[in-house]
């Protein structure tokens, strides 16, 4: 049998895993080696569908041999080929399975990485699934006490949410990044994330939520004393005063220019909506007489 014939390798491996009158137990060790050899030969020959199926079989073989690490590696190879083939549901399923297998080994970092690879692959085709994968990947790292490793995952999730125009979710991801940064004493990343969240709310023309976010974040001493806080405060004042030129000026500031690219793009488009209406609303609130009977 020529070693370069992957079809025959698969046939032989399949035979080794099937029980018969003469074979009372499956030979998964040799079968798995044959599946992996065939998978690599198919991959070199650009026969991606057959390579993917061979890696799936190899992964199952490694599981049968109680080797979850090697099973995860083979499953990741199958996922990468599914990506090449544009089989997006398989991309998600295979990388998730690889992640589970890595967790069986007690290896959260590659488990998280596998989910992040799936998320990256699905951003353009199934963005809702992508953000869920990014969130699950960051959760794995959080639970392992490795919040700093999750910073890029929060940023990626917020970026996808912005593409989906889910601005509240985008801001929430940035606030999660800020919280993770706080646990790592990464003050600069924390303050940039908080300012980013405020800008996202302003882009969504939700001044009240932006102000609420600013007030909540200002409870954190590091943010209260930061350049990002001063920038946010000036932005909110400019909105309240209906000062469009000041808003545009602040959006071009160095403090904003040092934020994540996707947030900078939003800031450069500020203000959105009718800022003069916000000014009128603010003036109306100031003019409303105090009701002495209302003690709330």
* Residue 33 tokens, joined: 């080696």
Tell me the mean pLDDT in the region 249-268. Answer: 96
- Distance, in Å, from the CA atom of 217 to the CA atom of 178, rounded to the nearest integer, reads 9
The answer to whether 174 and 193 are in contact (CB under 8 A) is yes
Do residues 105 and 69 lie in contact, with contact meaning Cβ atoms separated by under 8 Å?
yes
pLDDT at residue number 275: 81
Is 166 in a helix, a strand, or coil?
coil
Cα atoms found within 13 Å of the Cα of residue 36, Cβ hemisphere only: 18
The whole-number average pLDDT for the span 258-272 is: 96
What is the DSSP annotation of 98-159? HHHHHHHTT-HHHHHHHHHHHHHHHTTT-HHHHHHHHHHHHHHHHHTT-GGGGHHHHHHHHH
**Is residue 137 within 8 Å of residue 153, measured between CB atoms?**
yes
Q: To the nearest whole percent, how much of the chain has pLDDT over 70? A: 91
Phi/psi of residue 294, each to 5°?
-95, 105
DSSP assigned state of 93: H
* 135: nearest Cα among 152, 154, 118, 117: 154
pLDDT at 167: 97
Angstrom distance (rounded) from CA 172 to CA 170: 5
Contact 278, 214 (CB under 8 A): no
Q: How many CA atoms are closer than 13 Å to the CA of 156, on its beta-carbon side?
A: 27
CB-based contacts of 135, cutoff 8 Å, min separation 6: 153, 157, 173
Residue 59: per-residue pLDDT: 98
- Residues across the chain: 296
pLDDT greater than 90 at residue 75: yes
Instruction: State the pTM of this model.
Output: 0.88
292: its two tokens: 């002495």
Rounded CA separation 70/54 (Å): 14
Mean pLDDT of all residues in 259-278: 90
- Residue 142 CA neighbour count, 13 Å, CB half: 17
Q: State the pLDDT at residue 276.
A: 76
For the chain, what percent of residues have pLDDT higher than 90? Answer: 87
103 and 111 Cβ atoms separated by less than 8 Å: yes
Tell me what the mean pLDDT of segment 141-145 comes to: 95
Confidence of residue 42 (pLDDT cuts 50, 70, 90): very high
Q: How far apart are CA 136 and CA 154, in angstroms?
A: 11
| pLDDT surpassing 70 at residue 284 | no
- Read off the DSSP letter of residue 290: P
Comparison of pLDDT for 18 and 192, the residue scoring more: 192
* 214/224 Cα distance (integer angstroms): 10
E strands in the chain: none
Greater model confidence, 197 or 25? 197
């Amino acid at each position: 049998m020529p070693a370069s014939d992957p079809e025959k390798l698969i046939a032989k491996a399949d035979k080794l895993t099937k029980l018969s009158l003469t074979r009372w137990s499956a030979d998964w060790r040799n079968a798995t080696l044959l599946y992996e050899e065939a998978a690599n030969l198919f991959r070199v020959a650009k026969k991606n569908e057959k390579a993917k199926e061979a890696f799936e079989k190899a992964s199952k073989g490694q599981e049968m041999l109680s080797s979850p690490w090697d099973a995860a590696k083979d499953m990741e190879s199958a996922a990468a080929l599914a990506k090449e083939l544009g089989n997006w549901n398989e991309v998600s399923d295979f990388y998730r399975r690889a992640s589970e297998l890595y967790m069986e080994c007690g290896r959260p970092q590659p488990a998280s990485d596998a989910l992040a690879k799936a998320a990256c692959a699905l951003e353009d085709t199934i963005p809702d699934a992508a953000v869920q994968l990014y969130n699950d990947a960051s959760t794995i790292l959080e639970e392992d006490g490795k919040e700093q490793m999750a910073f890029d995952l929060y940023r990626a999730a917020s970026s996808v949410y912005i593409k989906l125009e889910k601005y509240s979710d985008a801001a929430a991801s940035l606030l999660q990044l800020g919280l993770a940064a706080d646990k790592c004493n990464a003050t600069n990343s924390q303050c940039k994330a908080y300012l980013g969240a405020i800008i996202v709310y302003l882009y969504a023309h939700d001044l009240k939520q932006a102000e609420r976010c600013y007030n909540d974040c200002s409870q954190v001493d590091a943010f209260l004393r930061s350049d990002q806080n001063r920038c946010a405060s000036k932005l909110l004042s400019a909105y309240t005063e209906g000062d469009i030129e000041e808003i545009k000026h602040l959006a071009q500031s160095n403090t904003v220019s040092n934020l994540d690219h996707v947030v900078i793009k939003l800031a450069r488009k500020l203000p959105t909506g009718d800022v003069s209406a916000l000014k009128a609303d603010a003036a109306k609130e100031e003019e409303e007489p105090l009701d002495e009977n209302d003690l709330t």
